[in-house]
Amino acid sequence: MRTTTTDQHPMAVGARKAAGRRLVGCAALVAAAALTLSACGGSSDGNKPVVSVSASATKAAVTLDQPKDKPDLVLTDTHGKRYDLVKETAGKPTLLYFGYTHCPDVCPTTMADIASAKHRLPKADQDKLQVVFVTTDPERDTPKRLGEWLAPQDPAFTGLTGDFATIQAAARSLGVFIDKPVKQKDGSYSVQHGAEVFAFSPKDDKSHFLYTSGVSADQFAADLPKLIKGETP
């Protein structure tokens, strides 16, 4: 599922969050129907989708017909240090999401729901879970900006930034299509990016299922204990 958003003043984000949550929920219903056949991974050059999935109307998780490897991605974290995704999360239950900090609705809602679900886990399981947010807008999302944006959600969340082409290639390896942000005449930016959350098992470091936008905190909370154990919801 691809979402297009345009920047808004930070004060507008809170005011529109509830409305955004309702809109995302509607979009998720459309996405679930589309995912019954295949992932919505159309690119600008007309390539066929690279991820095949099986959706269910009774659960939030969408099972991948073919498990996906973690992207071989080395970027910069919120402390300005080199972060190797594969090495740092090896053998750990991991949620991976591509988004950007100026997003007015989908990104903050998704991260807030994941944070809420994580905080319901026992402390030991919270420490095991890795949540990685990779920016699709690296020009504006500096390490400092990412850190300030993620901290209120959960200071343990990992934020990554770096070269856009590297990030785009990693996203596409999962079937997530992102476009370079486009600056509008009024100074705002239009950003297109996939809204999937990929869950990687601690048993084999592969993603066997994902979540589309619109999944609630309660739904994440119901599934996270299974992810921690390396099980598929």
Largest distance between two CA atoms of the chain: 49
Q: Which residues are annotated as a binding site for Cu cation?
A: 103, 107, 193
**Do 119 and 154 contact (CB within 8 A), yes or no?**
yes
C-alpha 13/C-alpha 18 separation (Å) is 9
Residues 6+ apart with CB under 8 A from 184: 6, 190
**Do 78 and 233 contact (CB within 8 A), yes or no?**
no
Q: What count of residues does the chain have?
A: 233
C-alpha 198/C-alpha 35 separation (Å) is 14
C-alpha 32/C-alpha 39 separation (Å) is 9
Classified as helix, coil or strand, 41 is: coil
**Do 132 and 96 contact (CB within 8 A), yes or no?**
yes
**Do 199 and 61 contact (CB within 8 A), yes or no?**
yes
Q: At what angle do helices 10-35 and 106-118 cross, to 10 degrees?
A: 80
Q: Which residues are annotated as a binding site?
A: 103, 107, 193
